[in-house]
Structure 1
Amino acid sequence: MTNILAVECTHEVLSVALMCRGRKLERRGGGWQKTAESIVPLMDEVVSAGGIAPRELDAVAVSSGPGSFTALRIGMSAVKGVAFALDVPLLSVPTLPALAASLPADVSGDRVMAVVGSRKGEYFYALYRRDDLEAFRWHDEVSRGGVEDVAAALQDCAGKVVAVGRNLEPLRTVLDAGGVAGVNADFFSAASLFDFAIRAYAEPCRTGAGEVEPDYRQSFGSGGA
């Protein structure tokens, strides 16, 4: 049985999850502003709750972005430290396909638009076919733009589309105009990374922890989220 510690800190809420002995445990912290002070205690807490020693971890997984610049930087630094200290693989999981794949199965739709807030009224977004996500196939064409850009991307889509993300309210008018259901992604967390992490762990050639980098997608000024 593979023991994996996962961290999701790309936007809004920090979460840490452990998969071990056939169980999944999770702890959630505060907003991204508290990532630095919360991430290590949460990792310690969830590993302890799982009843295993840190040395029993087989790998560490992290959502690699895009998302909050500050939280990504802090989160990536913390998980790299764990991976190096334990000499285990660091599994990088792209945030947008993981977010799209976390959409509950009972929500109908051929395609999923995953949306993560950027800054100043802008968003990172990408469209995925659900059958591609189920087969762990996806493109890396992530876009960034404002409400009008999201609207244009939706207009170009064929088939039923569902949008998933946190705080979709600013996009509500656009979604309603396009007949697109918007699903609040409160369910997206570190535990959502496990399917992708298991797949990555099984790969014969994995990227070394020192080579894994956050997907910032943009430059932020000092203090930017």
Structure 2
Amino acid sequence: MAKILALDTSTDACSVALSIDGEIQEDFRIIPRQHTRQLLPMVDEMLTTAGLKVKQLDAIAFGRGPGSFAGIRIATGAAQGLAFAAELPVLPISTLAAIALKAAREYQVERIVSTLDARMNELYSCDYEMRDGLPVALRHETVSAPENIVVPAGERWFAAGKGWVYLDNMSAEVQHAVGTPVLDIYPSAGLMCELAMDAFARGEGVSAEEAQPIYLRDTISWKKISEQKKKGQ
């Protein structure tokens, strides 16, 4: 087993978790706009309580998005800085996968459409199926308008996360397929520790320099700018 530190600042919540041989301790706080000031002190407190130095860890995980642009950058920068100084691998973890895992654990469901509010009348989403106790993505994460959301055919899906605030703007088929959504499900470092342990065991760690956030909307905008530049050449 491994010692993994996880950080998440992708939403209004700020959380730090430490997994030592599968035993997870977590500090989870809803503190909007305080992530920059609170994250590293929370890390210091977590490690001090455990009697560990950063160099004694095996890896550092972080919520790589999608989520708040500014929030994702905070966790990414902190994870990169800590990992670079201690020469540790980094494990970027999906925020939507963490939401799916929490939904599965709390509501005993197997098929989850995990979402976050992307603002600008859009939402981030991904469909997951639980396999061997962990969420497996059935498609790529996307950012889209509510009316463009499509739920896979089959049994009823569990709707998790704050992106479902736009349910009334979705199609009748989607509303019927998901029933009543549960909005108040946050990604958290504790859940990311569990996902990170599996990723670490599979050798999916990357260097600090390679650890990158996932914005989704930025990627789409970047493609449009690139196309415009090509047309202007």
- TM-score bracket for the superposition, by shorter chain length: 0.7 to 0.9
- Once the 2 structures are TM-superposed, how far is the Cα of residue 112 of structure 1 from its aligned partner? 0.5
Question: How far apart in 2 are the matches of 1:190 and 1:179?
Answer: 27
1:29-87 alpha-carbon deviations (Å, 9 max, x no partner): 44452221111111111111223233221111011111111111121011100001111
Secondary structure of 1:214's aligned partner: coil
Aligned partner of 1:159 among 155, 159, 162: 155
Gaps of 5+ in 2: 222-233
Equivalences for residues 73-92 of structure 1 within 5 A:
73-92=73-92
- The residue number in structure 1 matching 2:228 is none
In the TM superposition, structure 1's runs of 4+ consecutive aligned residues that sit over 3 Å from their partners are 29-32, 133-137, 166-170, 172-179, 184-188
Identity of aligned residues (%): 25
Write out aligned runs for 1:133-172 (5 A). Answer: 134=133, 137-150=136-149, 153-154=150-151, 156-166=152-162, 168-171=164-167
2:188 partner amino acid: S
Task: Tell me by how many angstroms 1:110 deviates.
Answer: 4.3
Task: Give the C-alpha shift of residue 24 in structure 1.
Answer: 1.9
Q: 1:161 to 1:22 in 2, by over 3 A?
A: closer
Counterpart position of 2:111: 111
CA RMSD of the aligned region, Å?
2.6
Equivalent residue pairs, number: 217
Q: Identify the residue that residue 179 of structure 2 maps to in structure 1.
A: 180
Shift of 1:165: 0.7
Higher Rg: 2
Tell me whether 139-148 or 89-98 shows the greater mean CA deviation: 139-148
Mapped partners of 2:178, 2:114: distance in 1: 16
Using the TM superposition, give the Cα deviation of residue 185 of structure 1 relative to its aligned residue in structure 2, in angstroms: 4.1
Q: Which amino acid aligns with 2:189?
A: A
Change (3 A) 1:30 1:185: closer
Residue pair 1:122, 1:146 contacting (<8 A) in 2 also: yes
Q: Match for residue 45 of structure 1?
A: 45
TM-score using structure 2 length:
0.81
Per the alignment, residue 100 of structure 1 pairs with 100
Instruction: State the alpha-carbon separation in 1 of the partners of residues 115 and 183 from structure 2.
Output: 10
Change over 3 Å in CA distance of 1:53–1:109 after alignment to 2: closer
Unmatched 5+ residue regions in structure 1?
none
Q: Decide whether the 8 Å contact of 1:25 with 1:50 is kept in 2.
A: no
Report the Cα distance in structure 1 between the residues aligned to 2:136 and 2:210, rounded to whole angstroms. 22
Does the 8 Å contact 2:83/2:90 carry over to 1?
Answer: yes
Contact 2:17 2:190 in 1 (8 A): yes
CA distance 1:200–1:181, change in 2 (3 Å) = same
Distance 1:4 1:38 in 2: 20
Q: Distance in 2 between matches of 1:205 and 1:14?
A: 24
- Structure with bigger helix share is 2
Distance 1:114 1:22, change over 3 A: closer
Give yes or no for contact 1:115–1:165 (8 Å, CA) kept in 2. yes
